[in-house]
Amino acid sequence: MDAIEVIVTKRDGGELTTAQIEWVIDAYTRGVVADEQMSALAMAILLNGMDRREIAAWTRAMIRSGERMDWSALDRPTADKHSTGGVGDKITLPLAPLVAACGAYVPQLSGRGLGHTGGTLDKLESIPGWRASLSNEEMLSVLRTAGAVVCAAGSGLAPADKKLYALRDVTGTVESIPLIASSIMSKKIAEGTGSLVLDVKVGSGAFMKTAERARELAETMVALGTDAGVRTVALLTAMDQPLGVAVGNALEVAESVEVLAGGGPSDVVELTVRLAREMLEAAGVAGKDPADALGDGSAMDAWRRMITAQGGDPDAALPVAAETMTVDAPSSGVLARLDAYGVGLAAWRLGAGRARKEDPVSFGAGITLHAKPGDPVRAGQPLMTLHTDEPARFGRALAALEGGYEVGGSASQELLPLVIDRVTA
Ligand code: URA
Protein backbone atom coordinates (compact mmCIF):
# COMPACT_ATOMS: atom_id res chain seq x y z
CA MET A 1 0.00 0.00 0.00
CA ASP A 2 0.98 3.55 -0.53
CA ALA A 3 0.41 6.60 1.71
CA ILE A 4 -0.14 8.93 -1.25
CA GLU A 5 -2.96 6.76 -2.59
CA VAL A 6 -4.67 6.81 0.83
CA ILE A 7 -4.30 10.61 1.12
CA VAL A 8 -5.61 11.20 -2.43
CA THR A 9 -8.65 8.95 -1.84
CA LYS A 10 -9.72 11.05 1.15
CA ARG A 11 -8.65 14.34 -0.44
CA ASP A 12 -11.06 13.61 -3.31
CA GLY A 13 -13.91 12.81 -0.91
CA GLY A 14 -13.74 9.02 -1.24
CA GLU A 15 -14.19 6.35 1.40
CA LEU A 16 -11.11 4.63 2.81
CA THR A 17 -11.25 0.84 2.82
CA THR A 18 -10.77 -0.95 6.13
CA ALA A 19 -7.51 -2.39 4.77
CA GLN A 20 -6.25 1.11 3.91
CA ILE A 21 -7.10 2.37 7.41
CA GLU A 22 -5.44 -0.60 9.13
CA TRP A 23 -2.33 -0.17 7.01
CA VAL A 24 -1.97 3.58 7.43
CA ILE A 25 -2.39 3.56 11.24
CA ASP A 26 0.06 0.68 11.65
CA ALA A 27 2.60 2.17 9.23
CA TYR A 28 2.35 5.59 10.91
CA THR A 29 2.90 4.06 14.37
CA ARG A 30 5.99 2.25 13.05
CA GLY A 31 7.35 5.44 11.42
CA VAL A 32 6.88 4.15 7.86
CA VAL A 33 4.27 6.81 7.05
CA ALA A 34 5.85 10.23 7.74
CA ASP A 35 4.38 12.99 9.91
CA GLU A 36 3.81 15.23 6.87
CA GLN A 37 1.83 12.45 5.14
CA MET A 38 -0.30 11.83 8.24
CA SER A 39 -0.87 15.61 8.57
CA ALA A 40 -2.19 15.73 5.01
CA LEU A 41 -4.48 12.76 5.69
CA ALA A 42 -5.74 14.29 8.98
CA MET A 43 -6.55 17.54 7.12
CA ALA A 44 -8.36 15.61 4.37
CA ILE A 45 -10.39 13.81 7.08
CA LEU A 46 -11.15 17.12 8.81
CA LEU A 47 -12.42 18.58 5.53
CA ASN A 48 -14.22 15.53 4.08
CA GLY A 49 -15.18 13.46 7.16
CA MET A 50 -15.44 9.70 7.63
CA ASP A 51 -18.54 7.50 7.76
CA ARG A 52 -19.46 5.18 10.64
CA ARG A 53 -17.59 2.18 9.18
CA GLU A 54 -14.45 4.21 8.56
CA ILE A 55 -14.50 5.72 12.07
CA ALA A 56 -14.99 2.28 13.63
CA ALA A 57 -12.11 0.82 11.59
CA TRP A 58 -9.90 3.82 12.46
CA THR A 59 -10.68 3.37 16.18
CA ARG A 60 -10.04 -0.41 16.07
CA ALA A 61 -6.71 0.17 14.33
CA MET A 62 -5.64 2.67 17.01
CA ILE A 63 -6.65 0.23 19.77
CA ARG A 64 -4.65 -2.52 18.05
CA SER A 65 -1.54 -0.30 17.97
CA GLY A 66 -1.07 -1.04 21.69
CA GLU A 67 -2.24 -3.13 24.64
CA ARG A 68 -5.85 -3.68 25.69
CA MET A 69 -6.35 -3.89 29.44
CA ASP A 70 -8.50 -6.59 30.97
CA TRP A 71 -10.30 -6.46 34.31
CA SER A 72 -12.03 -9.83 34.06
CA ALA A 73 -10.17 -10.98 37.20
CA LEU A 74 -12.37 -8.61 39.23
CA ASP A 75 -15.53 -9.92 40.87
CA ARG A 76 -17.76 -6.91 40.04
CA PRO A 77 -18.54 -4.94 36.84
CA THR A 78 -16.41 -2.00 35.78
CA ALA A 79 -17.66 1.47 34.84
CA ASP A 80 -15.89 4.62 33.78
CA LYS A 81 -16.71 8.21 32.86
CA HIS A 82 -15.03 10.51 30.37
CA SER A 83 -15.61 14.25 30.22
CA THR A 84 -14.67 16.32 27.20
CA GLY A 85 -13.43 18.91 29.69
CA GLY A 86 -14.51 22.22 31.11
CA VAL A 87 -13.87 24.95 33.64
CA GLY A 88 -14.13 23.77 37.26
CA ASP A 89 -14.90 20.23 36.08
CA LYS A 90 -13.62 18.25 39.04
CA ILE A 91 -16.44 15.68 38.86
CA THR A 92 -14.14 12.63 38.50
CA LEU A 93 -12.72 13.28 41.98
CA PRO A 94 -15.93 12.69 43.96
CA LEU A 95 -17.48 10.46 41.27
CA ALA A 96 -14.91 7.63 41.09
CA PRO A 97 -14.96 6.80 44.83
CA LEU A 98 -18.74 7.37 44.94
CA VAL A 99 -19.40 4.76 42.26
CA ALA A 100 -16.94 2.40 43.96
CA ALA A 101 -18.87 2.84 47.22
CA CYS A 102 -22.06 1.89 45.36
CA GLY A 103 -20.73 -1.41 44.04
CA ALA A 104 -18.91 -1.02 40.69
CA TYR A 105 -15.17 -0.88 40.05
CA VAL A 106 -13.89 2.32 38.41
CA PRO A 107 -10.63 1.92 36.44
CA GLN A 108 -9.96 5.40 35.07
CA LEU A 109 -7.07 6.53 32.90
CA SER A 110 -6.99 10.32 32.92
CA GLY A 111 -5.05 13.16 31.38
CA ARG A 112 -3.39 16.44 32.24
CA GLY A 113 -4.79 19.85 31.40
CA LEU A 114 -3.77 21.85 28.39
CA GLY A 115 -5.11 25.36 27.72
CA HIS A 116 -8.02 26.77 29.71
CA THR A 117 -9.47 23.42 30.90
CA GLY A 118 -7.89 21.60 33.83
CA GLY A 119 -6.74 17.99 33.93
CA THR A 120 -7.75 15.45 36.56
CA LEU A 121 -4.16 14.29 37.14
CA ASP A 122 -2.97 17.85 37.82
CA LYS A 123 -5.72 18.24 40.41
CA LEU A 124 -4.91 14.99 42.20
CA GLU A 125 -1.18 15.71 42.11
CA SER A 126 -1.80 18.69 44.38
CA ILE A 127 -2.37 16.12 47.17
CA PRO A 128 1.03 15.59 48.84
CA GLY A 129 2.55 12.20 47.93
CA TRP A 130 -0.11 11.18 45.36
CA ARG A 131 1.30 9.31 42.35
CA ALA A 132 -0.26 9.33 38.85
CA SER A 133 1.97 6.69 37.25
CA LEU A 134 1.07 3.12 38.14
CA SER A 135 1.92 -0.23 36.58
CA ASN A 136 -0.99 -2.45 35.51
CA GLU A 137 -0.41 -4.61 38.61
CA GLU A 138 -0.55 -1.53 40.85
CA MET A 139 -3.77 -0.42 39.14
CA LEU A 140 -5.34 -3.79 39.90
CA SER A 141 -4.14 -3.63 43.49
CA VAL A 142 -5.59 -0.10 44.02
CA LEU A 143 -8.87 -1.24 42.45
CA ARG A 144 -9.06 -4.19 44.84
CA THR A 145 -8.25 -1.97 47.84
CA ALA A 146 -10.36 1.09 47.05
CA GLY A 147 -12.77 0.09 44.27
CA ALA A 148 -11.51 3.00 42.13
CA VAL A 149 -8.23 4.07 40.60
CA VAL A 150 -7.46 7.25 38.65
CA CYS A 151 -4.04 7.29 36.98
CA ALA A 152 -2.07 8.21 33.86
CA ALA A 153 -2.27 6.08 30.71
CA GLY A 154 0.98 4.19 30.15
CA SER A 155 2.90 4.48 26.89
CA GLY A 156 1.59 1.08 25.76
CA LEU A 157 -2.04 2.23 25.47
CA ALA A 158 -3.10 3.36 21.97
CA PRO A 159 0.38 4.65 20.96
CA ALA A 160 -1.02 5.54 17.51
CA ASP A 161 -3.34 8.05 19.18
CA LYS A 162 -0.52 9.58 21.25
CA LYS A 163 1.48 10.23 18.10
CA LEU A 164 -1.49 11.40 16.04
CA TYR A 165 -2.93 13.67 18.76
CA ALA A 166 0.43 15.48 19.12
CA LEU A 167 0.49 15.92 15.34
CA ARG A 168 -3.12 17.20 15.19
CA ASP A 169 -2.32 19.68 17.94
CA VAL A 170 0.23 21.46 15.73
CA THR A 171 -1.51 21.09 12.35
CA GLY A 172 -4.95 22.62 13.01
CA THR A 173 -6.66 19.23 12.80
CA VAL A 174 -7.96 18.74 16.35
CA GLU A 175 -11.53 19.90 15.58
CA SER A 176 -12.66 16.95 13.48
CA ILE A 177 -15.49 14.93 15.06
CA PRO A 178 -14.32 11.58 13.55
CA LEU A 179 -10.77 12.22 14.81
CA ILE A 180 -11.87 13.43 18.28
CA ALA A 181 -14.33 10.54 18.72
CA SER A 182 -11.83 7.88 17.62
CA SER A 183 -9.08 9.42 19.76
CA ILE A 184 -11.16 9.42 22.95
CA MET A 185 -12.84 6.07 22.35
CA SER A 186 -9.67 4.19 21.34
CA LYS A 187 -8.21 5.02 24.77
CA LYS A 188 -11.42 4.25 26.68
CA ILE A 189 -12.01 0.93 24.89
CA ALA A 190 -8.32 -0.08 25.30
CA GLU A 191 -8.64 0.75 29.01
CA GLY A 192 -10.94 -2.26 29.26
CA THR A 193 -13.96 -0.77 31.04
CA GLY A 194 -17.18 -2.74 30.64
CA SER A 195 -19.37 0.38 30.56
CA LEU A 196 -18.80 4.04 29.92
CA VAL A 197 -20.65 7.29 30.55
CA LEU A 198 -19.57 10.24 28.43
CA ASP A 199 -20.03 13.77 29.75
CA VAL A 200 -19.98 15.91 26.63
CA LYS A 201 -19.76 19.55 27.67
CA VAL A 202 -21.53 22.35 25.77
CA GLY A 203 -20.83 26.08 25.96
CA SER A 204 -18.13 28.76 25.97
CA GLY A 205 -15.87 26.83 28.37
CA ALA A 206 -16.12 23.58 26.38
CA PHE A 207 -14.51 22.11 23.32
CA MET A 208 -17.94 21.98 21.65
CA LYS A 209 -19.55 25.41 21.72
CA THR A 210 -23.01 24.34 20.48
CA ALA A 211 -25.40 21.56 21.46
CA GLU A 212 -25.58 20.45 17.78
CA ARG A 213 -21.81 19.76 17.54
CA ALA A 214 -21.81 18.18 21.01
CA ARG A 215 -24.70 15.87 20.02
CA GLU A 216 -22.90 14.78 16.86
CA LEU A 217 -19.76 13.98 18.88
CA ALA A 218 -21.80 12.16 21.53
CA GLU A 219 -23.68 10.06 18.95
CA THR A 220 -20.43 9.13 17.20
CA MET A 221 -18.77 8.08 20.47
CA VAL A 222 -21.81 6.16 21.72
CA ALA A 223 -21.91 4.23 18.41
CA LEU A 224 -18.18 3.41 18.67
CA GLY A 225 -18.46 2.19 22.25
CA THR A 226 -21.58 0.14 21.53
CA ASP A 227 -20.02 -1.47 18.42
CA ALA A 228 -16.99 -2.43 20.56
CA GLY A 229 -19.20 -4.14 23.17
CA VAL A 230 -18.88 -1.38 25.80
CA ARG A 231 -22.26 -0.26 27.20
CA THR A 232 -22.02 3.46 26.44
CA VAL A 233 -24.30 6.40 27.16
CA ALA A 234 -23.64 10.15 26.89
CA LEU A 235 -25.01 13.19 28.67
CA LEU A 236 -24.73 16.65 27.14
CA THR A 237 -24.10 19.00 30.06
CA ALA A 238 -23.72 22.74 30.57
CA MET A 239 -20.35 24.49 30.37
CA ASP A 240 -21.55 28.06 29.82
CA GLN A 241 -20.63 28.95 33.42
CA PRO A 242 -17.98 27.26 35.63
CA LEU A 243 -19.00 24.13 37.54
CA GLY A 244 -19.06 24.78 41.28
CA VAL A 245 -17.21 27.71 42.85
CA ALA A 246 -13.59 26.50 42.69
CA VAL A 247 -11.39 26.62 39.59
CA GLY A 248 -7.77 25.48 39.97
CA ASN A 249 -6.06 22.30 41.09
CA ALA A 250 -5.91 22.28 44.92
CA LEU A 251 -9.01 24.51 45.14
CA GLU A 252 -10.97 21.87 43.19
CA VAL A 253 -9.67 19.04 45.39
CA ALA A 254 -10.94 20.93 48.45
CA GLU A 255 -14.37 21.39 46.81
CA SER A 256 -14.50 17.70 45.88
CA VAL A 257 -13.77 16.72 49.48
CA GLU A 258 -16.67 18.95 50.58
CA VAL A 259 -18.95 17.03 48.20
CA LEU A 260 -17.69 13.70 49.58
CA ALA A 261 -18.42 15.02 53.08
CA GLY A 262 -22.07 15.56 52.10
CA GLY A 263 -21.82 19.31 51.30
CA GLY A 264 -20.45 21.29 48.34
CA PRO A 265 -22.10 23.37 45.60
CA SER A 266 -25.46 22.07 44.38
CA ASP A 267 -24.47 21.86 40.68
CA VAL A 268 -21.40 19.71 41.46
CA VAL A 269 -23.46 17.45 43.74
CA GLU A 270 -26.30 17.13 41.21
CA LEU A 271 -24.02 16.26 38.29
CA THR A 272 -21.92 13.84 40.38
CA VAL A 273 -25.03 11.96 41.54
CA ARG A 274 -26.57 11.93 38.05
CA LEU A 275 -23.39 10.58 36.43
CA ALA A 276 -22.98 8.00 39.21
CA ARG A 277 -26.54 6.71 38.63
CA GLU A 278 -25.84 6.50 34.88
CA MET A 279 -22.60 4.58 35.49
CA LEU A 280 -24.24 2.10 37.87
CA GLU A 281 -27.13 1.55 35.46
CA ALA A 282 -24.76 1.03 32.52
CA ALA A 283 -22.74 -1.43 34.61
CA GLY A 284 -25.92 -3.27 35.68
CA VAL A 285 -25.22 -2.69 39.39
CA ALA A 286 -28.27 -2.14 41.57
CA GLY A 287 -26.44 -1.21 44.76
CA LYS A 288 -26.67 1.71 47.13
CA ASP A 289 -28.08 4.99 45.79
CA PRO A 290 -25.26 7.51 45.19
CA ALA A 291 -27.04 10.30 47.12
CA ASP A 292 -27.06 8.02 50.20
CA ALA A 293 -23.37 7.15 49.77
CA LEU A 294 -22.47 10.86 49.85
CA GLY A 295 -24.52 11.29 53.02
CA ASP A 296 -23.34 8.25 55.01
CA GLY A 297 -19.57 8.65 54.61
CA SER A 298 -19.02 5.53 52.47
CA ALA A 299 -17.92 7.56 49.40
CA MET A 300 -15.50 9.52 51.60
CA ASP A 301 -14.08 6.22 52.94
CA ALA A 302 -13.50 5.03 49.34
CA TRP A 303 -11.81 8.36 48.49
CA ARG A 304 -9.44 8.05 51.47
CA ARG A 305 -8.55 4.47 50.51
CA MET A 306 -7.99 5.48 46.87
CA ILE A 307 -5.73 8.45 47.72
CA THR A 308 -3.75 6.48 50.32
CA ALA A 309 -3.29 3.49 47.98
CA GLN A 310 -1.65 5.84 45.45
CA GLY A 311 0.80 7.27 48.01
CA GLY A 312 -1.21 10.37 48.91
CA ASP A 313 -2.06 11.69 52.35
CA PRO A 314 -5.79 12.54 52.45
CA ASP A 315 -5.24 14.50 55.69
CA ALA A 316 -2.33 16.63 54.47
CA ALA A 317 -2.82 20.38 54.02
CA LEU A 318 -3.28 21.28 50.35
CA PRO A 319 -0.97 23.81 48.65
CA VAL A 320 -2.09 27.43 49.04
CA ALA A 321 -1.09 30.22 46.62
CA ALA A 322 1.18 32.96 47.96
CA GLU A 323 -0.99 35.92 46.91
CA THR A 324 -4.70 36.69 46.56
CA MET A 325 -6.72 39.55 45.11
CA THR A 326 -10.49 40.06 45.06
CA VAL A 327 -12.57 41.25 42.13
CA ASP A 328 -15.41 43.31 43.58
CA ALA A 329 -18.91 44.09 42.30
CA PRO A 330 -18.87 47.52 40.62
CA SER A 331 -22.54 48.17 41.58
CA SER A 332 -25.46 46.52 43.37
CA GLY A 333 -27.84 44.23 41.48
CA VAL A 334 -27.49 40.63 40.35
CA LEU A 335 -24.56 38.83 38.79
CA ALA A 336 -26.07 38.94 35.31
CA ARG A 337 -23.38 36.98 33.49
CA LEU A 338 -20.31 34.88 34.29
CA ASP A 339 -18.61 33.33 31.30
CA ALA A 340 -16.91 29.95 31.74
CA TYR A 341 -14.23 30.64 29.13
CA GLY A 342 -13.17 33.97 30.73
CA VAL A 343 -12.88 32.35 34.17
CA GLY A 344 -10.97 29.35 32.76
CA LEU A 345 -8.56 31.58 30.87
CA ALA A 346 -7.98 33.77 33.93
CA ALA A 347 -7.28 30.71 36.15
CA TRP A 348 -4.87 29.43 33.50
CA ARG A 349 -3.05 32.77 33.43
CA LEU A 350 -2.82 32.75 37.24
CA GLY A 351 -0.75 29.56 36.87
CA ALA A 352 -3.37 26.79 37.26
CA GLY A 353 -2.83 25.51 33.70
CA ARG A 354 0.00 25.04 31.27
CA ALA A 355 0.77 26.41 27.79
CA ARG A 356 2.96 23.47 26.72
CA LYS A 357 2.72 19.82 27.76
CA GLU A 358 6.04 19.97 29.62
CA ASP A 359 5.23 23.11 31.68
CA PRO A 360 4.61 22.75 35.43
CA VAL A 361 1.34 23.91 37.01
CA SER A 362 0.92 25.90 40.21
CA PHE A 363 -1.22 23.75 42.51
CA GLY A 364 -2.55 26.63 44.62
CA ALA A 365 -3.38 28.98 41.73
CA GLY A 366 -6.94 29.56 40.51
CA ILE A 367 -10.19 31.33 41.27
CA THR A 368 -12.79 31.05 44.01
CA LEU A 369 -16.22 32.35 42.98
CA HIS A 370 -18.33 34.12 45.60
CA ALA A 371 -21.37 34.55 43.36
CA LYS A 372 -22.91 32.61 40.47
CA PRO A 373 -25.16 33.98 37.71
CA GLY A 374 -28.50 35.14 39.10
CA ASP A 375 -27.17 35.74 42.65
CA PRO A 376 -27.90 39.17 44.21
CA VAL A 377 -24.74 41.22 44.89
CA ARG A 378 -23.96 44.51 46.66
CA ALA A 379 -21.55 47.19 45.35
CA GLY A 380 -18.05 46.44 46.66
CA GLN A 381 -18.82 42.82 47.57
CA PRO A 382 -16.14 40.37 46.35
CA LEU A 383 -17.37 38.48 43.27
CA MET A 384 -14.31 36.27 43.15
CA THR A 385 -10.88 35.76 44.69
CA LEU A 386 -7.87 35.25 42.42
CA HIS A 387 -5.04 33.06 43.76
CA THR A 388 -1.48 32.99 42.37
CA ASP A 389 2.14 32.45 43.39
CA GLU A 390 3.31 35.27 41.10
CA PRO A 391 1.54 38.63 41.59
CA ALA A 392 2.74 39.76 38.14
CA ARG A 393 0.10 37.37 36.76
CA PHE A 394 -2.86 39.32 38.20
CA GLY A 395 -2.92 41.88 35.36
CA ARG A 396 -3.28 39.32 32.55
CA ALA A 397 -5.86 37.38 34.57
CA LEU A 398 -7.96 40.53 35.07
CA ALA A 399 -7.70 41.19 31.32
CA ALA A 400 -9.07 37.66 30.65
CA LEU A 401 -12.03 38.38 32.92
CA GLU A 402 -12.85 41.69 31.22
CA GLY A 403 -16.26 41.42 29.58
CA GLY A 404 -16.62 37.92 31.06
CA TYR A 405 -18.86 38.99 33.94
CA GLU A 406 -21.50 41.64 34.39
CA VAL A 407 -23.55 43.02 37.27
CA GLY A 408 -26.95 44.35 36.19
CA GLY A 409 -30.55 44.88 37.19
CA SER A 410 -31.57 41.37 36.15
CA ALA A 411 -29.97 38.15 34.91
CA SER A 412 -29.07 38.57 31.22
CA GLN A 413 -27.26 35.28 30.65
CA GLU A 414 -29.61 32.66 29.26
CA LEU A 415 -28.26 29.69 31.22
CA LEU A 416 -28.18 26.17 29.84
CA PRO A 417 -29.85 23.47 31.97
CA LEU A 418 -27.20 21.44 33.84
CA VAL A 419 -28.15 18.29 31.90
CA ILE A 420 -29.18 19.24 28.37
CA ASP A 421 -29.75 15.84 26.81
CA ARG A 422 -29.03 12.10 27.04
CA VAL A 423 -27.75 10.10 24.08
CA THR A 424 -28.01 6.31 23.87
CA ALA A 425 -27.37 3.78 21.13
N1 URA B 1 -9.26 14.51 23.82
C2 URA B 1 -8.67 13.45 23.25
O3 URA B 1 -8.25 12.53 23.91
N4 URA B 1 -8.58 13.44 21.89
C5 URA B 1 -9.02 14.43 21.13
O6 URA B 1 -8.91 14.35 19.92
C7 URA B 1 -9.62 15.54 21.74
C8 URA B 1 -9.73 15.55 23.10
Ligand 1 mean position, distance from CA 47 (Å): 18
With 80 as the cut, is the pLDDT of residue 231 above it? yes
Query: What is the CATH class of 323-408?
Result: alpha beta
- Decide whether any atom of ligand 1 lies within 6 Å of the 71 Cβ: no
2 labelled catalytic: no
114 three-state secondary structure = strand
List b or e across 73-107, with b for residues whose CB sees 16 or more CB atoms inside 10 angstroms: ebebbbbbbbbbbbbbbbbbbbbbbbbbbbbbbbb
Distances (CA, A) of 388 to 305, 347, 349, 383: 30, 9, 9, 17
82 labelled catalytic: yes
Mean pLDDT, residues 99-123 taken together: 91
With 90 as the cut, is the pLDDT of residue 117 above it? no
Query: Residue type for 242, please?
Result: P
- Decide whether any atom of ligand 1 lies within 6 Å of the 167 Cβ: no
Q: Is residue 200 within 8 Å of residue 208, measured between CB atoms?
A: yes
With 80 as the cut, is the pLDDT of residue 411 above it? no
Residue-wise pLDDT for 342-382, tens only, equals 999 999 999 999 878 788 899 999 999 999 999 999 999 99
pTM: 0.96
Topology given in CATH for the domain delimited by 3-49: 1.20.970
With 80 as the cut, is the pLDDT of residue 226 above it? yes
With 90 as the cut, is the pLDDT of residue 300 above it? yes
Q: How far apart are CA 424 and CA 182, in angstroms?
A: 17
Q: Which secondary structure element, helix H or strand E, spans residue 277, and what is its range?
A: helix 266-283
Residue nearest to atom 6 of ligand 1 (CA): 180
Return the CATH number of the domain spanning residue range 79-154+169-315. Answer: 3.40.1030.10
- Decide whether any atom of ligand 1 lies within 6 Å of the 183 Cβ: yes
With 90 as the cut, is the pLDDT of residue 2 above it? yes
Among 108-117, 143-152, 242-251, 402-411, whose mean pLDDT is lowest?
108-117
pLDDT grade for 337, boundaries at 50, 70 and 90:
very high
Residue nearest to atom 2 of ligand 1 (CA): 184
Which of the listed residues 163, 165, 167, 170 should we mutate to test ligand 1's pocket, taking the one with most ligand atoms within 8 A of CB? 165
Mean pLDDT, residues 173-187 taken together: 96
Please state the separation of Cα 33 from the chain's center in Å. Answer: 31
- Decide whether any atom of ligand 1 lies within 6 Å of the 198 Cβ: no
Residue-wise pLDDT for 46-72, tens only, equals 999 999 999 999 999 999 999 999 999
Q: What does the DSSP 8-state code read for residue 393?
A: G
Q: Where are the domains of the chain?
A: 3-49, 79-154+169-315, 323-408
- What's the pLDDT at 96? 98
Mean pLDDT, residues 181-186 taken together: 97
